[in-house]
Structure 1
Amino acid sequence: MTKTSGEQRPSRTDIKVSLIGGHRLDGATLHERTLTASLIGGADIDLTDVDIPDGAELRITKLSLIGGVSLRVGPDVRVEVRGIRLGGVRDEGPGAPGGPTVRIDAWGLIGGVNVRR
C-alpha cells in the first residue's frame, strides 16, 4: 500500500468473506479500504511492513458474529477503533500525532481488538 505523493486515484475497497474461518491480511493484500466478514472467525492483520504515508488513513471494517481483530502496526501509526462488540480494546500505546492512521470498525457480538506495536 505505497502511494506516491501527488498521485490521485480512486480508493479501492477489498472484500473478504467466509462463513467459518478468519482472514489473515498483510500489506500485500490490503488497499485503502478493506472489508472482512465472517460468521465465525477473526482477522489477523499485520501492517508492520507497510509504508503508510504521514496523514494517510487506512480503513478496515470487520463484521462477524464471533471473532476479534489482532492488529500489528509500527510504533508511529495511530490506531482508532470504532464499532460495537463484546470484548475490549487493548492497545500497547499511542502512535505519533500527525502520523499515519489505521481505523478499525469492528462490529460483532463476541471478540475484542488487540493492537500490538
Structure 2
Amino acid sequence: MTKNNGESPQKTEVKVSLIGGHRLAGATLHERTVTASLIGGADIDLTDVDIPDSARLRITKLSLIGGVTLRVRRDVRVEVRGLRLGGVKDDGPSEPGGPTVRIDAWGLVGGVSVHRS
C-alpha cells in the first residue's frame, strides 16, 4: 500500500477494462483506487497488509455488471457507499478503532461482499 505522508497529494490508481474484472492485492493499492469495467467485478485482498490505524483507503468500483469481494482483517472498519442492485454482505463486525476501507460501488448488478479473517 502506498502511504501518504501528509506532504504530497494522495495518488489515485485507475484500472480500466471493457470485459473482465480486476484482482487487487494490498501491496499494489494506493490510498485511492478506481476500478472501472463494463462487465466484471473486483476481487480485493487486504488481509496481509499492515494498514496503520489512522489510514483511510478509498476504493471506487464502476461497472454495469459486477460486484466487489473484499477480504480484510477483523480490525478493519469497512464503509460501503454507492448505488447498486445487490446489497452488502458483511460476515462480521469489525473491532473499534482500526483503519478504515471505504468502498464506493456504482453499478446496475452486483453487490459488495466483505469477508473478515
Same fold (TM over 0.5): yes
Q: Secondary structure at the match of 2:83?
A: coil
Change over 3 Å in CA distance of 1:19–1:3 after alignment to 2: closer
Contact 1:2 1:52 in 2 (8 A): no
Distance in 2 (CA, whole Å) between partners of 1:114 and 1:50 is 19
How high is the TM-score relative to the length of structure 1?
0.93
Structure 1, unaligned runs of 5 or more: none
Distance in 1 (CA, whole Å) between partners of 2:3 and 2:14 is 20
What RMSD in Å do the two structures reach over aligned CA positions? 1.3
Q: CA deviation at 1:2?
A: 6.0
Contact 2:76 2:99 in 1 (8 A): yes
Matches within 5 A, 1:76-91: 76-91=75-90
Determine if the alignment matches structure 1 residue 69 to structure 2 residue 83: no
1:16 corresponds in structure 2 to: 15
1:53 corresponds in structure 2 to: 52
Q: CA deviation at 1:10?
A: 2.2
Q: Secondary structure at the match of 1:85?
A: strand
Distance in 2 (CA, whole Å) between partners of 1:16 and 1:87 is 22
Structure 2, unaligned runs of 5 or more: none
Q: Secondary structure at the match of 1:103?
A: strand
Distance in 2 (CA, whole Å) between partners of 1:80 and 1:16 is 21
Matches within 5 A, 1:92-107: 92-107=91-106
1:39 corresponds in structure 2 to: 38
Q: Deviations over 1:66-103 (max 9, x none)?
A: 00000000010000000000001000112122210000
Distance in 2 (CA, whole Å) between partners of 1:10 and 1:94 is 32
Contact 1:18 1:38 in 2 (8 A): yes
1:114 corresponds in structure 2 to: 113
Number of residue pairs matched?
Answer: 115
Q: Deviations over 1:7-66 (max 9, x none)?
A: 323211000000000000001210100000000000000000111110211000000000
Distance in 1 (CA, whole Å) between partners of 2:46 and 2:2 is 12
Change over 3 Å in CA distance of 1:3–1:19 after alignment to 2: closer
Q: Secondary structure at the match of 1:10?
A: coil
